[in-house]
A and B are shown apart, each in its own frame.
Chain A
Amino acid sequence: MCREVDCLVTGATGFLGRAVTAGLLKSGASIRCLVRESSSPLAFPTLCDLSGRPPRTQIFQGNLLSPTHVARAVDGARVVYHLAAEMRGLSATIFSGTVVGSRNLLQAILRARPQRVVLISSLSVYGLANVHPKNLVTEDSALDEHPEKRDVYTHAKLWQERLFQEYLTGSGIELAIVRPGYIYGPANKHLPPRLGLTLGGILLKASPGKYLPITYIDNCADAVIFCGTNKQAAGEAYNVVDEDPPTGGEYLERYRRIARRPRAVRFPFMVFSVLSYLNQLGNRLSAGQIPVVLTRYKAACAWRGHQFSSQKLKCLGWRQPISTEEALALTFPVPVSPTASEQPVSMPLRNTA
């Protein structure tokens, strides 16, 4: 039997994983990280820098696809934070890494019986194709019934959520599901997918005037840890989006501080419908040789400017530690120049509360 630890973190070397482990260590918790065997210690510098590793950090090198590795990792952990997921690669890689890996973890969890499990899911699990953009999306909104019409990542994340509910409901093990918006920060300055579709280096902006469901990395990590430690958080799912978010256009303007590309063109949603139709027509004409990357269903879910609420988490007492203005400034700093230092650029953000 392994030495007991407060928390097990899977996916500890990822963008969110590094922030969550750093936050847990800061809070004084002892943690165990399950990392791939191919990961080098350089991939998780926060663990080494903050704690000097032993005695509060254990690093288990292993694979979620190996039930033996997973069983060893879960053994003796009081809270399991499951952050690991395959986000890129072929469909089979995404499914095996995300869903099969989760199933292995759940089987180990039922044997080891930790007190609580926190699953990191995604806002993409909601079924928004037939939801009017004026309707606020809350945790009570329906989940997508046809994720296969969207993309493999969404499909795998929904499957993963379903597995966690199936395995842990009635097991006596607490489950909290966190559904973050797009996570950004200095180490991830990409454009949120809900901003639009990038084709051949050109961003086709969708609903640029709508607020983006995004969350700053440190805010998201704080919410994840809150869901692992707050007594009332068990048994529910929570959206995590920051307050006072920028609109798509405002985010893009900030982004322009660090990158010129891609060029952006604004299109009404109707254009996405036409592009979807053309893509599907091309797929039929070429007998499947042109892949379907865009469907009307997918476009309706992603680019109609739906707004998400994280009120439920706030009702439990959680507050985002870093304001959106500060987070954006940290992510997209104003370029240093003589004129800029004298006249700092400020971008007022509307309050959505």
Chain B
Amino acid sequence: MSLRISLVGCGKAAENHVSQIQQIPDAELVAVCDREPIMAEQLAVRYAVRKCYSEYSEMLKRERPDVVHITAPPQTHFDLASVAFDHGCHVLIEKPATCSYGETERLLSLAETSGKKLTLAWGHYFDPIARELREKVKSGTIGEIVHLNSHFGYDLAGPFGAPVLADPDHWVRGLPAQVIYNVADHIFNKLCEYLPGADSSVETVIWPDDCGSSQNEIASDMRVLIRDGPITATATFSPRIRPVLHRFEVFGTKGSWALDFNSGILTTEETARHRGVLGSLVNGYGKAWRMFKYANRNTLRLTKGQFGYFSGLRFLIRSFYDSILKDSPVPIPYDLILKVSRLTERVVLHSRGALCAEKLIA
């Protein structure tokens, strides 16, 4: 059976979805939709999608898709997903799910009551290194987790940041804490997966990057310290740190691992077998050798289509489609989505209107 797929919102994120959907054998992208007809048409023409619409409900009625990808701004996610559920569609939503925890909670319960599946486009969460780390934690290689560190860099002059800076009416500016909220899922989903979430305290500092004029002032630096039972975690978001990094580190009682999402390399730190300067040298060469081997593995993965910037997104989309076809669990548990949404709200939403170096205690 082949799934009929449609997409709404033909902006920046749409292309990533379309290019990956078209690599999945059991799925056919039948239509794209945007309220701006030119944007819908250009995407359809460039990716040879048969139909394009500017009326969402018309697309749903005529095309009767099995799955709708929602890549419109987050302010519209709840309404677009609700309509999709009404039309009997499963829904894959670009992150962030909605603009608040309450809305995300209602959206998930709507999915459950309608008997349809929902997932979020957490592409990096399914990158090969993230999946490998998951296996290592499960198998006990890391031991008990002691500390987690999630760092997400951002280039405000880059292809995503520049349009936000240039346009005072850009939808990202309408989000609580703007760009931070827009990427918060990437920062917090890795932490929430390993935090028990039973009894956590959160301390946050968020402050704006004033680029020289008040209209460009957007919340752009964030530091978070979380204590959750026996585990602590830190999270950093900064557009000032160069190079622009995307990293995640897990420190355990048996081993510590670092994920570099830019290079797609998972490395571990090993205790030096020899003391002194010789030990340091051997340790350095050992680490370099492990990274070299991992990079070679990635080259092999690339030739099989299993490595690349969007390989995690494709894995997620395929897993979601499989969960629909086989009626198996969705790739991202709903309680994890809620946990991330709740943490994001505690960290980000409470800082609204108090962006300048204000300490927040949840």
**Measuring CB to CB, which residues of chain A are less than 8 angstroms from any residue of chain B?**
36-38, 40, 63, 65-66, 88-93, 95-96, 99-100, 103, 148, 152, 155-156, 159, 285-290
Contacts and interface: CB of A to CB of B under 8 A. Distances in A.
A91 B302 CA distance: 24
B168 A95 contact: no
Contacts of B23: 287-288
B170 to A, nearest CB: 10
Nearest to A156: B42
A93 B302 contact: no
28 contacts: A36-B167, A37-B166, A37-B167, A38-B168, A40-B212, A63-B167, A89-B162, A90-B15, A92-B10, A92-B12, A92-B39, A93-B159, A95-B39, A96-B39, A100-B39, A148-B45, A148-B46, A152-B46, A156-B42, A285-B303, A286-B303, A287-B23, A287-B304, A288-B20, A288-B23, A288-B305, A289-B308, A289-B309
A38 B12 contact: no
Assign chain B's interface to a size class: 35 or more
B165 A159 contact: no
A38 B165 contact: yes
B135 interface: no
Nearest to B165: A38
A40 B213 CA distance: 9
Interface in B294-329: 302-305, 307-311, 314
Contacts of A148: 45-46
| For the complex of A and B, 6 pairs with smallest distance between CB atoms | A289-B308, A287-B305, A38-B166, A92-B12, A90-B159, A95-B42
Interface in B89-136: none
Given A66-B169, A93-B159, A155 B213 contact: no
A286 B305 contact: yes
Interface in B265-311: 302-305, 307-311
B139 to A, nearest CB: 28
A190 B23 CA distance: 37
A103 B38 CA distance: 9
A212 B42 CA distance: 31
A302 to B, nearest CB: 19
Contacts of A38: 165-168, 215-216
B19 interface: yes
B11 interface: yes
Nearest to B162: A89
A289 B302 CA distance: 7
B264 to A, nearest CB: 11
Given A37-B168, A38-B216, A63-B167, A286 B302 contact: yes
Contact of A287 (B42, B215, B314): B314
A37 B213 CA distance: 11
A90 to B, nearest CB: 5
B311 A100 contact: no
Contacts of A286: 302-303, 305, 307-308
B113 to A, nearest CB: 34
A103 B54 CA distance: 16
Contacts of B42: 91, 95, 99, 155-156, 159
A96 B173 CA distance: 18
A283 B59 CA distance: 31
Interface in B17-38: 19-20, 22-23, 36, 38
Contact of B215 (A37, A89, A95): A37
Contacts of B354: none
A99 B46 CA distance: 15
B360 interface: no
Contacts of A95: 38-39, 42
B14 interface: yes
B163 interface: yes
Given A38-B167, A92-B15, A289 B36 contact: no
A155 B46 contact: yes
A22 B166 CA distance: 24
B184 to A, nearest CB: 21
Nearest to A102: B38
Nearest to A86: B163
Given A89-B163, A90-B15, A92-B10, A285 B305 contact: yes
Nearest to B24: A287
Which of A38, A66, A155 is the most central at the interface, judged by chain B CB atoms within 10 Å of its CB? A38
A86 to B, nearest CB: 9
A90 B20 CA distance: 17
Given A38-B165, A40-B212, A155-B46, 12 more contacts: A40-B213, A88-B159, A89-B163, A90-B159, A92-B39, A95-B38, A96-B38, A103-B38, A148-B46, A159-B38, A287-B305, A288-B23
B52 to A, nearest CB: 13
A314 to B, nearest CB: 36
A280 B11 CA distance: 25
Contacts of A99: 38, 42
B33 to A, nearest CB: 14
B225 to A, nearest CB: 34
Contact of A289 (B10, B160, B162, B305): B305
Contacts of A93: 12, 159, 163
Interface in B147-169: 159-160, 162-163, 165-169
Nearest to A149: B46
A159 B167 CA distance: 24
A92 B14 contact: yes
B302 A290 contact: yes
B22 A96 contact: no
Contacts of B302: 286, 289-290
Contact of A91 (B46, B168, B169, B303): B46
A289 B310 CA distance: 7
A17 to B, nearest CB: 16
A108 to B, nearest CB: 16
A155 to B, nearest CB: 7
Given A91-B46, A92-B10, A100-B39, A288 B159 contact: no
